[in-house]
Structure 1
């Protein structure tokens, strides 16, 4: 019953959000980037928190002091569940876009708001498109907007950490921004770990300290340092 209620609520909330679309399009048409991002963040943040609450889940986040206030960052997070996007949208105190799988671009209304939020859709089966997507995400970072990437490239559906995709963190180096490791615990228990039925879970988010590309540790690559940071947190 909770699963049905969730999907009904999600559909109704997306339909309700349509009343804000003309205003966002107005901001885009008149190159009012700051206003567009502010409104999109306000709407998506409220929407995301309500989606998590409707599952009955709790979210505890620690390490917020590690997020720089005055610069865009690339958040690199493990990926356990489809709920990871609303969890991060709702509980990271910073406007963010996502490097998301291309399949999400086909979801009505949801894809509209993801695009408004400066999300970039990537098709890992198409190398040329993937390179264009990474360059687009780098440009967004350079414009002052933070991004989230899931370096595993797909959901683990567990507390295990998968292998990072090659080049998944290159956009941070290209944009000259720090990487903030994000460790999500137990989000898969909301849905994927329960035979694709919604149930409450106790989700924890750990925000790690900034990692700068190849500058503060010459013995390990940036990818290895980010991977080890997240893996170590998952094992605690």
Structure 2
């Protein structure tokens, strides 16, 4: 319970600082390139995420960062738990936005930051919103920004990788960008497996070899979905086995 209180107090207690820094960043925007501004904006969410993860006292191991390409890319990860976003923000040096449910817009400061990070908001109850989110994501990628997506749609809570929805393939094909698979294991240990109480977890993140834009264009959508899912799922299973062998 104590770790949960410390984590959530930092989550909201940091917002006034973040709001002041955002104003400073926005004042510099006119003098920076898109890539420079993305990198500048990324520093604050990364600092916030590192603070969150430090307060959970979790151990995070990250590998494969050399696979991150220059230029815009669609980052595709399995979705294990609520701490996937903080872990990835704290560990992935490449600036990225992500697709988020529209309810986040009700929070103070956070949605303003997310808009400058090039996040896309989705109303899951509205089919038109889903189509628009795909178009908005393609637009962000074509404009030179990277986006993270969880094709499972919902958290697996550590119960293995579930089926991938097909929207991410259309996004990658329409935007003409590479897909970077990312395997996540262990985030559900922090919260979901503890009746939503925060406890230290052992999280493993691995960035995997990208699928090039040329390869994506050539492959059939169903085949590509299966290839990306299998690539991530195989690595998640390997992570789980390695962790079990150490116990």
Same fold (TM over 0.5): yes
Partner Cα separation in structure 1 for residue 123 and residue 205 of structure 2:
27
- In structure 1, the partner of 2:184 is 184
State the aligned residue count. 235
Q: Structure 1 204/155 Cα, relative in aligned 2: closer, same or farther at 3 Å? A: same
Mapping 1:58-207, distance limit 5 Å: 58-68=59-69, 70-207=70-207
TM-score using structure 2 length: 0.88
How far did 1:84 drift?
A: 0.8
- In structure 2, the partner of 1:233 is 235
Q: Structure 1 133/215 Cα, relative in aligned 2: closer, same or farther at 3 Å? A: closer
Contact 1:27 1:35 survives alignment (8 Å): no
Partner Cα separation in structure 2 for residue 62 and residue 211 of structure 1:
18
Which digits, 9 at most, give the CA deviation of each residue in 1:22-81, with x for residues without a partner?
22443567886445323211111111111111100111111112111x221111001111
TM-score using structure 1 length: 0.91
The structure with the largest helix share of the pair is 2
- In structure 2, the partner of 1:2 is 3
Q: Structure 1 34/72 Cα, relative in aligned 2: closer, same or farther at 3 Å? A: closer
Q: Which sits farther off after the overlay, 22-31 or 148-157?
A: 22-31
Which consecutive residues of structure 1, in runs of 5 or more, have no partner in the other structure? none
